[in-house]
Structure 1
Amino acid sequence: MDIFNISLNDDIDFIIQEIGEDVKINNKLTKAIIQNTKQERIFDDKRIITNSKIARGDYVEYNDLFFIVLPEVNCKKYNSYYKSIIRRCNFDIKFIINNKLYLFYAFVEGDKFTIEQQDVFSLSADNITVTLPYTEITRQIKKKDCFIKWGQKWEVQGIDYAKDGLVILHGKQTLINNSNDDIENEIANRYKDEIDILEGNIEPILPFDVVDEEPEIPEEPEPTEPEDNYSITIDGYDKMMVGFESTYTATVFNNDEEVDKDVKFEIDDTSLATIASQDGKSCKIKTNNNYKFGSFNLKATLVEDETVFVEREIKVVGL
C-alpha cells in the first residue's frame, strides 16, 4: 500500500501510530511515516509524514542516520500532519568556534568530484557545498574558516543564508599547514603559535549537546555604501515638426534611485535643430525653418562624469 497516495483525514494520528516508525526530530522522539523517493539513488532523499512539528533545517534521526529537512514546510496540512522531504547527511564536519570544537552532520556536494559513502573520487579538485541547519552556532561560521575532510583542507569562501533554516557553505580546497592543522582528528587550525587552542579537549560538541555558556555572537558588520552606478533617461517626444520648439527633461539615477545631478545637452546635427536653452535638468530644442527633414541625436551627459551619458533619436517631420 502506498501511504503517500491514500486519503488522509482526522485518523492520521492513528495511522502514524500504527505504521509509523520511531524517529527523532531535533533529538525529540516521535513517530513518522518514512518512504523512499525517486531521487533516493542520487541523494538518498525520503518523504516524511508526521504529526510533530517540522521545519526546514531540522535534523531527523532515522535508523541511526541523520537527515536534514530540505524544502520549506509551509503549514500543518488539514490541522493534522506535516509532510516534507528529508535528505541524508552524508558526512560530518568539524569547526572550531570560540575555541570550542563542534561537529555538524552535513550534506556535502562536490562540484568536480563525486562522493560515494565515505570515499571521495577526485576528478580535478575544486569546490564543494556544505548544507547545515541554521542555528545560533552555525551562524557564527565565517568566511576563511576551515575544516578538514578526506585528508584535505577546505576554506569557506562564501556563505548562503537565502533559504530559511539552512546555512550553505561554499568551500574550496586549500593547502594544509602541518604546524597548525590536526589531520588525524580532522581539526583545522587547531594550533596557533604552537599552542593548542582546544587545550587537549578534542571531544566535539554535538548538535544537541548542552553547552555550559552561550557562545559569543560576533557583531554584525556595518553595512558598506554601494558603489556609484549612474544612469540617465530623457523624457520628450520622438518627433518634432519643422519650425516648432519642444522641451526635453533628463533624470539621473544612482543604483536605480533618482538623484539631483546636472547634465549637459548636445545635438549631433545642428542643421536639423538647435538647443535654444538648457539648465542642467532640461533643454528647449528648436527645429529648422528650412523644411529639412531627418533624424538627429540628443545627448545628455552627466556633468561630473562624462563617461555617463544617454542618447535619444529625434525625427524632424513636416506639418
Structure 2
Amino acid sequence: MINLFESTTEDFSFLLDQMGNDVLINDNPVKALITNTNLEQIYDDRRITSLSPFSRGDIVLFNGKKYIVISEVTEKRYTKYKGIIRFLPHTIIVNSESRFYTLDCYINTSDLGITSGKVLTLADGEITVNCSNYSIDSDLKIGARFLLNGGAWKCTGVDDFSKPGMVALTCVKDSILPTDDLINGIAGGLGISVNITNSNFDVTIDSTYQLTWTSTNNAPVRFESSDESVATVDVNGLVTGLTTGNVTITVYHAQLEQIKDTITLMVKDVPVSYTLEITSSSKPGEVTKGRTKTYEAIVKQGIDIVSDQPVTWKITADDQTSTTALATITSQTGTSCVVSGVNLGYVQLKATLVSDPTVFAWQRIQVKSAI
C-alpha cells in the first residue's frame, strides 16, 4: 500500500501515472494529484500534490476551470510539493489610467460574507478582490475601476505583501459613468481609443513606411498585419512591403483587443526608373548658323534602351530659363527634334520624359558661323 505521507518519489510517480491529472500551472503542463479537502465548503477548494514545484499565486487550470494556489509552498514535503488551490469564479477587467488588467479572481465582501458563486449580489459596502500577483504590475493605481454584475467598483487599496504571490484589492462601490462600456464590461471603455493618424499612403515592394498613432493616456499598443505575405508590421508600427496586393494593418490597445483602429494600404511594384540623354549623329554641341541638325532622345531603363517613352522638346537661352532667338526648333516628334541655327551664341536644348517630368536632359549647343 502506498502511504501518501511517507511514500518515496518512485511510489508517488507511480501514483501520478495511475491516478494523476494533467493540469496547467501558469500555462505549463504538469502532472498533479487533485483531491477534495475537508475544509469548510464555502469555497471550491482542492488539494494539489505534485513532483513539480509550484508556489502561492500560481494559476492552475484543472478540468477547464481556473484555480489559484492559496497556501504558502516553500519546500517539498515528503518528497513532493503540496498545497491548496481555490476556484476563481469571476473575471474582471480593471482599468487603471487606460491600462487594463484581466483578472481571474475570487471575491469576499465586508457585509455579505464570503462569496464564491458566479452570481453575486453586492451591497454598497466594501469588497476584496483576490487574485494572482503575477497578473498585476506597478501600473495598477489607486482609483482603478472595473464593472461587475452591472455595477461599478473603484480600487481604494492594494495589498501585495500580506500573502506573497497574491494581491488583494480593496474596492468600494462607484457610480456608473457615461464612458463605461456596459455591454463588454469595460469600465471607461467608451472613452478610450487608439487611432492611426497616417492616411492615403502606399508602400512599394521592399520599402518601409512608419505609421503614426495616438492612444488615450499614451496607452501601449500592438500592431497586426492581415496578410504577412503582402506586408509586415513590427512592434513600432514600421510597415514593410513584400509583394503586391492590399493589406489591412490594425493597431490594438495592447491589453484589450476591443479597442482598435485599422488602415488599408496597397503594396505596389517598385516604380520603373528611367534615364534620358540627348545625342545627334555628329557634334551634338554645335549647329551652324543658317543650317539645321537633328537631335535624338535616348531613353533607358537600367541599361536597356526603350522606345515607348516619348519626350517633349524645348529650347532656351544659355541660362536654361530665358527665351532665345539664337536658335529654334523647326520640327519635333516624341523621340527627335530639328534645331535650326539663327544667330551666333549659345542655347540650351531640353528633353523631358512625358510619363515622368522629373526625368529630363539638357544639351548645350553653340550656334557657329559657317566657315
Counterpart of 1:28 in structure 2 is 28
Equivalents in 2 of 1:76, 1:151: separation in Å? 44
Q: Is contact 1:101-1:202 (8 Å) kept?
A: no
Distance 1:138 1:44 in 2: 27
Give the match for residue 264 of structure 1: none
2:306 corresponds to: none
For 1:79-117, what per-residue CA distance to the aligned partner results, in whole angstroms no more than 9, with x for missing partners?
Answer: x31000000101011123574543121111122236453
SS at match of 2:188: coil
Q: Give the residue type in structure 2 aligned to 1:127.
A: E
Q: Distance in 1 between matches of 2:166 and 2:192?
A: 34
Give distance in 2, aligned partners of 1:98 and 1:143: 10
Aligned to 1:169: 169
How far did residue 133 of structure 1 move? 1.1
Cα separation, partners in 2 of 1:136 and 1:48, compared to 1, 3 Å: closer
Q: Aligned residue for 2:159?
A: 160
Provide the C-alpha distance between the structure 2 equivalents of 1:23 and 1:40, rounded to a whole number of angstroms: 24
Structure 2 counterpart of 1:66, which letter?
Answer: K
Matching residue of 1:314: none
Cα distance in 2, alignment partners of residues 71 and 189 from structure 1: 35
Within the alignment, does 1:45 sit opposite 2:45 as a pair? yes
**Correspondence for 1:142:** 141
Q: Secondary structure at 1:135's aligned position in 2?
A: helix
Q: Distance in 1 between matches of 2:51 and 2:176?
A: 47
Distance 1:194 1:32, change over 3 A: closer
Change (3 A) 1:121 1:193: closer
Quick check: 1:126–1:172 contact (8 Å CA) kept in 2?
A: yes
Equivalence for 2:343: none
In structure 1, the gaps of 5 or more residues are 207-319
**Contact 1:139-1:167 at 8 Å conserved across structures:** no
**1:43-192 equivalences in 2 (<5 Å):** 43-78=43-78, 80-96=79-95, 99-113=98-112, 115=115, 117-122=117-122, 124-135=123-134, 137-161=136-160, 162-178=162-178, 180-192=179-191
* CA distance in structure 2 between the aligned counterparts of 1:4 and 1:68, rounded to whole angstroms: 26
CA shift for structure 1 position 136? 6.7
Q: How many residues align?
A: 202
Unaligned runs of 5+ in 2: 195-214, 222-250, 258-371
Secondary structure of the structure 1 residue equivalent to 2:71: coil
CA–CA separation in structure 1 for the residues paired with 2:18 and 2:180: 50
What amino acid is aligned across from residue 171 of structure 2 in structure 1?
G
Distance 2:253 2:185 in 1: 10
Displacement of 1:158? 0.7
Q: Which letter maps to 1:111? A: S
- Quickly say closer, same or farther: Cα 1:55–1:205, change in 2 above 3 A: farther
Q: Which amino acid aligns with 1:54?
A: F
Q: Distance in 1 between matches of 2:45 and 2:3?
A: 15
TM-score by length of 2: 0.49
Cα distance in 1 for residues equivalent to 2:171 and 2:3: 37
For residue 117 of structure 1, give the secondary structure of its aligned residue in structure 2. coil
Q: Secondary structure at the match of 1:121?
A: coil
Deviations 1:12-33 (A, max 9, x none): 2221122101110001111111
What is the one-letter code of the residue matched to 1:15? L
SS at structure 1 position matched to 2:17: helix
Identity value in percent:
29
The offset of 1:71, in angstroms, is: 1.3
Q: Aligned partners of 2:121, 2:136: CA distance in 1, in Å?
A: 31
The C-alpha deviation readout for 1:136-174, integer Å capped at 9, x for no partner, is: 734432110001110000000011122111111001101
Instruction: Indicate conservation of the 8 Å contact 2:96/2:143, yes or no.
Output: no
Kept after mapping to 1: 8 A contact 2:88/2:105: yes
Q: Which amino acid aligns with 1:26?
A: N
User: Is the 2:158–2:168 Cα contact (8 Å) retained in structure 1?
Assistant: yes
Of structures 1 and 2, the one scoring higher in RCO (CA 8 A, sep 6+) is 1
Larger Cα-atom Rg: 2
Aligned-residue Cα RMSD (Å) equals 3.0
Whole-Å separation in 2 of the counterparts to 1:150 and 1:59: 24
TM-score scaled by structure 1?
0.56
* Change in 2 beyond 3 A, CA 1:187/1:201: farther
What is the CA-CA distance between 1:193 and the residue it aligns to? 8.4
1-structure distance, mates of 2:166, 2:127: 16
Q: Tell me the residue number matched to 2:311.
A: none
Note if contact 2:101-2:135 (Cα within 8 Å) is conserved in structure 1: no
